[in-house]
């Protein structure tokens, strides 16, 4: 009898909760990214949802790009989010690295026009081994270009360029003038305000 009452209370508690549809920010066209459940809309704020760019855009060649959003506003049964980071999967990166080439990684902290900070991890894959001076020159160019670009753009616009790959393509155009490279990718980003959250793993 006691067990039946306990199960009954669980069912009643579940029925008292509501489902909320979660949407990406405007920079990602507010696409629907999933559902979350709660008995109190206030408890939904702060929750983090993860999906892939492939699922969001229905372009499954981009399944290797994981994107995270944090709920920052609830209206009715809709939950709206803020971008907090992205990462490329380790398997995808592993497949890109070739023998007798250099992988040059850089970590750059940028600030957008309205003062939001993003920590970016960039990897540059060369066609052959680069020497130390060339590595330094590539890192310097990447750092300066990203800092300058971010400072002229609002957060949403800059994030869109980073995740879509447009920012990486612009880097590639300039890096290849220093040394022959196969590709340049921004493989990870993290909103600095979200540093208290669990880091986005790849």
Listed in sequence order, the residues at least 6 apart from 114 whose beta carbon sits closer than 8 Å to its beta carbon are: 154, 155
Q: What is the pLDDT of residue 73?
A: 94
Residue 8 has pLDDT above 90, yes or no: no
Among candidate residues 65, 87, 109, the one where a domain is terminated: 87
Q: Provide the pLDDT confidence category of residue 196 given band limits of 50, 70 and 90.
A: very low
Length of the chain: 202
Q: How far apart are CA 15 and CA 39, in angstroms?
A: 9
Among candidate residues 50, 72, 87, the one where a domain is terminated: 87
Prediction pTM value: 0.85
The pLDDT tens digits for 140-177 are 999 999 999 999 999 999 999 999 999 999 999 999 99
> Residue 173 falls within a domain, yes or no?
yes
Same domain assignment for residues 59 and 134: no
Q: Provide the pLDDT confidence category of residue 17 given band limits of 50, 70 and 90.
A: confident
Overall number of domains in the chain: 2
Same domain assignment for residues 115 and 77: no
Among candidate residues 29, 55, 87, the one where a domain is terminated: 87
Q: How far apart are CA 25 and CA 112, in angstroms?
A: 17
Supply the DSSP string of 46-64, one letter for each residue.
T-EEEEEHHHHHT-GGGTT
Same domain assignment for residues 78 and 111: no
What residue numbers bound the domain in which 21 lies? 2-87
Which helix (H) or strand (E) segment holds residue 187: the answer is: strand 181-191
Q: What is the pLDDT of residue 99?
A: 80
Same domain assignment for residues 50 and 134: no
């Amino acid at each position: 009898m006691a067990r039946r009452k306990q199960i009954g209370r669980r069912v009643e508690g579940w029925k008292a909760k509501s489902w909320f549809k979660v949407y990406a920010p405007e920079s990602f066209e507010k696409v629907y990214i999933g559902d979350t459940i709660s008995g109190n809309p206030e408890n939904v704020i702060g929750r983090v949802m993860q999906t892939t760019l492939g699922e969001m855009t229905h372009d499954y060649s981009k399944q290797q790009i994981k994107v995270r959003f944090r709920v920052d506003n609830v209206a009715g049964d809709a939950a709206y989010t803020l971008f907090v980071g992205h990462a490329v999967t380790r398997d995808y990166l592993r497949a890109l690295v070739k023998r007798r080439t250099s992988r040059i990684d850089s970590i750059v902290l940028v600030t957008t026009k309205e003062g939001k900070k993003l920590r970016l991890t960039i990897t540059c894959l060369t066609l052959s081994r680069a020497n130390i001076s060339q590595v330094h020159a590539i890192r310097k160019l990447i750092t300066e270009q990203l800092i300058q670009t971010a400072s002229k753009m609002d957060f949403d616009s800059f994030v869109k360029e980073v995740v879509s790959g447009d920012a990486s393509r612009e880097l590639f155009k300039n890096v290849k003038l220093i040394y022959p490279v196969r590709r340049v990718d921004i493989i990870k980003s993290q909103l600095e305000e979200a540093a208290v959250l669990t880091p986005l793993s790849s």
